[in-house]
Amino acid sequence: MNVLTKIQNWGNRHHPKWLDYFRILLGLVLIWKGIAFASNLHAFTNMMKDAMLGVAVSISLLAHIIIVLHIIGGLLIAVGSHTRLFCLLNLPILIVAVFFVNLRANIFSPYAEFWVSVIVLIGLICFLIEGNGVLSVERDKKAVV
């Protein structure tokens, strides 16, 4: 726990303001991808059936967990509440999206989702370390108490 406390304290001290705008954009992208994922759920179901994962994992439950984590996590990351927690919860989803889903497609096509997934993955890792920043709901909550 000492290492986690050191990382948290370092992230709280070294946080430029422009990273807050990137955090807000990251949250909005997660919300957008969650809504897009929910509206295109049929393609995900077909892809998982082709990958032979239907036996091991309930596809419907997995899809709904991804949608909820993207939408609620994106909202809370954007406003700066529980940023590290929801970055940690979204991290496995993005790792699977980058390394197992998007690498199978042509990553050099003009509209490849691979690069969006990589940028979001890097952003999640960054804010897992950095935390909320100055423009956040939790910063105001700590100032009141």
Q: Would you list the domain boundaries of the chain?
A: 2-144
The DSSP output letter for 105 is: S
Nearest to 29 by CA among 91, 128, 116, 138: 116
Q: What is the pLDDT along the chain (145 residues), one digit of tens a residue?
A: 688 778 777 766 777 778 889 999 999 999 999 999 899 888 777 766 666 655 545 677 888 899 999 999 999 999 999 999 999 999 999 999 888 877 776 667 776 788 889 999 999 999 998 888 778 887 655 544 4
